[in-house]
Amino acid sequence: MKVSVAVCTHAPDRYDDFREAVESVFSQTYEDIEAVLVSDGNEEVYRRMEEDYGARDDTVVTRTEENVGISGARTHAGEEASGDVIAFIDDDAVARDDWVEKLVETYEEHDVIAAGGRMAPLWVAGKPSFLPEEFYWLIGVTHKGFADGEGEVRNTFASNLSFRRDVFLELGGFNTAVGRKGDRQIQAHESEICSRMRREYGSGVYYNPDAVVEHKIFDYRTSARWLLDRAFWQGYSKRVMDTLVPEASGDKNDYLKRLVFEFGPSRLASLVRRPSSAKAQQLVMMVLLTAFVGFGFVYGLLTVRQGDFETVEPGAAET
């Protein structure tokens, strides 16, 4: 089974992190790998990719003609890939050396059409004491309560997500109306494609927690202000997802119930039993983050209408 691993980037100031992500792909224990490197509309980044990796036989270096955003860039990578499986990793993440091997084992042992793994934090700027693990999803890390071990889930993070390539192409790739692009704050493009996959194929993503990618958590992601802003836009994005794939709302609603009726009371009881400033800070932050997700969702209810977000075709690409 050949695996194509896509790494997309846009900004030159992220290139050093991009290279570290790419090198982690080349360091995998699994051998039949093709790296697909995409410059999302940036000529300088494309030239640097060509200089660094263009001569490699196991690498495709390509670009989009314009900045199409992460969804369009990843869709382009799937179109340019030649593997049986297309896997994705962010340009600020590092794969553990057996990541692809674990994904391949998942495909072979469970005969699935999509597989993903666990996102672990790589605390570049130190771990914030006030951030509860239940909200690690805000920083792109697998959170407490995500899954009870190995098995099918709706989706994993797109930085540790893979599909059989024919399925990915039949789905049309990621919906380019959602996902990061410039200052646009619509998140959860992996939720949208995986919800469509479940609807069309009757199958979700098989989660293997032993397939690990580490996500770099820079200092700005440990700011309370940034986290609250992120929570707001995640709530807004949930409303957008509801208009695109209404059936996707169930999993997030279930998690919200766990926050309110399980995790919150458990943290409060722990604080009462053994008070500490860190526990108090995390409980307060949990309440605030939940509220800001709610504010974002309400803002979406007031501003987003059915049909506002249609699938946009990614820009034409050059190789």
All domains of the chain in start order, with CATH: 3-222+308-318 (3.90.550.10)
d(CA 224, CA 268): 21
Percentage, residues of the chain above pLDDT 90: 72
CB within 8 A of 119, min separation 6: which ones?
A: 93, 140, 141, 142, 156, 157, 159, 160, 212, 213, 214, 215
The model's pTM: 0.89
More confident residue, 225 or 305: 225
Q: For residues 259-270, b (16+ Cβ closer than 10 Å) or e, as one string? A: beeebbeebeee
Beta bridge partners of residue 205, listed in sequence order? 153
Q: What are phi and psi of 224, to 5 degrees?
A: -60, -40
SS3 assignment, position 244: helix
Using alpha carbons, select from 245, 148, 251, 141 the residue that is nearest to residue 197.
245
Averaged pLDDT for residues 12-26: 97
Q: Which of 56-65, 93-102, 308-317 has the lowest mean pLDDT?
A: 308-317
Q: What is the pLDDT of residue 312?
A: 43
Residues in the chain: 319
What does R_g of the chain's alpha carbons equal in angstroms?
A: 19
